[in-house]
Amino acid sequence: MQDDPVIRVVSKILIPTIMLFGLYVQFHGDFGPGGGFQAGVIFASAFLLNAIVFGMNKGRHVWSPAFVLQCIALGVLIYGGTGVAGMVLSGNFLDYNVLLTDPVAGQHMGILLIEFGVGLTVASVMVGLFFAFASRPAHNRLLAQDDVRQEKAQKTKPNATAKTKGASK
Amino acid sequence: MNFFVVDSLLMALLTIIAIMAVRQQRLLGVIILSGSYSLIAATWFVVLDAVDVAFTEAAVGAGVSTVLALATLSQVPDQEKKRPIEPLPLLVAVGAGLLLLLAVVDMPSFEDPTAPVHTHVAPHYITLSGSEIGVPNIVTSVLSSYRGFDTFGEVVVVFTAAISVLIVLAGWTRKRKSKDRA
């Protein structure tokens, strides 16, 4: 799909817009519809669009698979850590009232933190699943063409391929 | 009365799309149909005033899961094998459907204020979440504060499911070589 100028230009405009909307849904979830789950999915769809239009290798370059794996765990850790922080500050598990001196402000703080954890986990899970499926050798032609072409181009410069291979392992 | 027309229209569309998806042999068509099914279901949730659910349905059902299904389609043949209808699974499916319809009769009617779900903890959330949590969206305050432990469980479920899928599809973190596995 890389050769189509319409798709390239439109996705270049759309990708930042989608990410901005994802952040809006993430941090505006307290006031309107939305929250971590929806925001994570919307945020991930920007990366998915990038990988579909510009090829899997470019997609991996933006959010590397190792970092995707770390983010999956990090989101759960942020959520659980917020809960444990409540216990450390002599409350119950996931009790946000004790996070700050004012209980209502503490609730705001806690909700913001755990929604961020949810969003991070969901976004990186979606990106990771897509990478995992799309990185396999394709049975159909659907997603394969761009990558095959890129790999052919990369064979002309073996230095770069060797370097990335060493870094990813 | 107006809502009745909208509801029936959406339900009819959902039924038509479901039947089309069952009859469709090409898997690409099935994926597109299931995406549009989710979109219409999201519209229906908006009619029912469940905007948060509608949002999730539109983003997950119509958006990402369609893309993930397309990515899966690149791994499998794109045509469904034609099979004769087997009587026993059909009987089980129809029987289970009829039992569920029977259960619907016993459910309290929609918007019934005396239904058990509206008399247990819901009044507390609606009247006190403004002063206890201070978040305008009650859905968010229930989801992340009152029911924070459940949501934690949900996130852990997402985490576990993703880890198991990624283990099954291992090898994706390495850069793919062109010909060795094709």
Which residues, 6+ apart, have CB-to-CB distance to B7 below 8 Å?
Answer: B44, B47
Whole-number pLDDT of residue A120: 94
| Structure tokens, B33 | 């149909």
In this structure, the dihedral spanned by the alpha carbons of residues A147, A152, A155 and A159, taken in order and rounded to 10 degrees, is -30
Q: pLDDT tens digit string along B41-92?
A: 999 999 988 888 999 999 988 889 998 898 888 888 878 888 788 899 999 9
**CB spacing of B145 vs A135 below 8 angstroms:** no
Average pLDDT, chain B: 86
Tell me the HSE value of B3 on the side-chain side, using a 13 A CA sphere.
7
Determine the Cα–Cα distance for residues B130 and A132; give it in Å rounded to an integer. Answer: 43
Whether chain A has a CB inside 8 Å of the CB on B163: the answer is: yes
Q: What angle do CA B39, B74, A157 make, to 5 degrees?
A: 125
Whether chain A has a CB inside 8 Å of the CB on B68: the answer is: yes
> Does pLDDT of A168 surpass 70?
no
Query: What is each CA distance from A156 to A3, A152, B15, B79, B150, in whole angstroms?
Result: 20, 7, 54, 37, 53
Whether chain B has a CB inside 8 Å of the CB on A152: the answer is: yes
A107, burial (CB in 10 Å: exposed 0-12, middle 13-18, buried 19+): buried
Determine the Cα–Cα distance for residues A30 and B135; give it in Å rounded to an integer. Answer: 6
**pTM for the full model?**
0.81
B179: nearest CA partner in chain A: A137
Whole-number pLDDT of residue A164: 47
Complex prediction ipTM: 0.81
Q: pLDDT tens digit string along B88-111?
A: 999 999 999 999 999 988 888 877
**CB spacing of B137 vs A152 below 8 angstroms:** no
> Does pLDDT of B27 surpass 60?
yes
Determine the Cα–Cα distance for residues A78 and A80; give it in Å rounded to an integer. Answer: 6
> Does pLDDT of A1 surpass 50?
yes
Which residues, 6+ apart, have CB-to-CB distance to B134 below 8 Å?
Answer: A104, A107, A108
> Does pLDDT of A143 surpass 60?
no
Show which of residues 25-64 on chain A sit within 8 Å of chain B, judged by CB atoms.
25, 29-38, 41-42, 44-45, 48, 52, 56-57, 60
Average pLDDT, chain A: 82
Beta bridge partners of B79: B26
CATH fold for domain B1-80: Four Helix Bundle (Hemerythrin (Met), subunit A) (1.20.120)
Residue B176: which pLDDT band, with cuts at 50, 70 and 90? Answer: low
Residues in chain A, overall count? 169
B35 or A58: which carries more pLDDT confidence?
B35
In 3D, which of B162, B132, B161 has the Cα closest to residue B146?
B132
A68, burial (CB in 10 Å: exposed 0-12, middle 13-18, buried 19+): buried
B114 or A161: which carries more pLDDT confidence?
B114
Residue B174: which pLDDT band, with cuts at 50, 70 and 90? Answer: low
Determine the Cα–Cα distance for residues A142 and A28; give it in Å rounded to an integer. Answer: 36
Query: Do the beta carbons of residue B38 and residue B68 sit within 8 Å?
Result: no
Domain boundaries, chain B: 1-80, 137-176
Q: pLDDT tens digit string along A130-139?
A: 888 887 776 6
Q: pLDDT tens digit string along B30-44?
A: 999 999 999 999 999
Show which of residues 67-126 on chain A sit within 8 Å of chain B, judged by CB atoms.
69, 72-73, 75-76, 79-80, 83, 93-94, 96, 103-104, 107-108, 110-111, 114-115, 117-118, 121-122, 125-126
Phi/psi of residue B79, each to 5°? -125, 135
> Does pLDDT of B158 surpass 80?
yes
| Structure tokens, A54 | 């510009």
